[in-house]
Amino acid sequence: MKSKNIISVVFVQGDVSKPLLDMIFEHGATTVLDYMINEYGHLEGEEMEFPPWGLEDDLFQYKDWFLSFNNRVCYVALSKRA
């Protein structure tokens, strides 16, 4: 069994994610990552056995934080290293 080393903090999709996706493409992933850390970074989240992003998702990492997103399936997620 693989060790759990990623915590999925928050996952938003559909209409909730559209403004965040727009912000990514207008202002960059750093802006959205900062926003999501400020809004949701205090949450405990769920420890995952495998990273909660896929091969077709975009991934931005800063230090121990991960912002994954996919415009086609309309989601944005915040994760962090355990």
State the sign of the Cα–Cα–Cα–Cα dihedral 50, 62, 76, 81.
positive
Q: Where are the domains of the chain?
A: 6-81
Mean pLDDT of 51-74: 96
Q: Of 73, 7, 62, whose CA–CA distance to 34 is shortest?
A: 62
Note the pLDDT of residue 1.
Answer: 42
27-62: pLDDT as tens digits: 999 999 999 999 999 999 999 989 999 999 999 999
pTM for this entry: 0.92
3-35: pLDDT as tens digits: 569 999 999 999 999 999 999 999 999 999 999
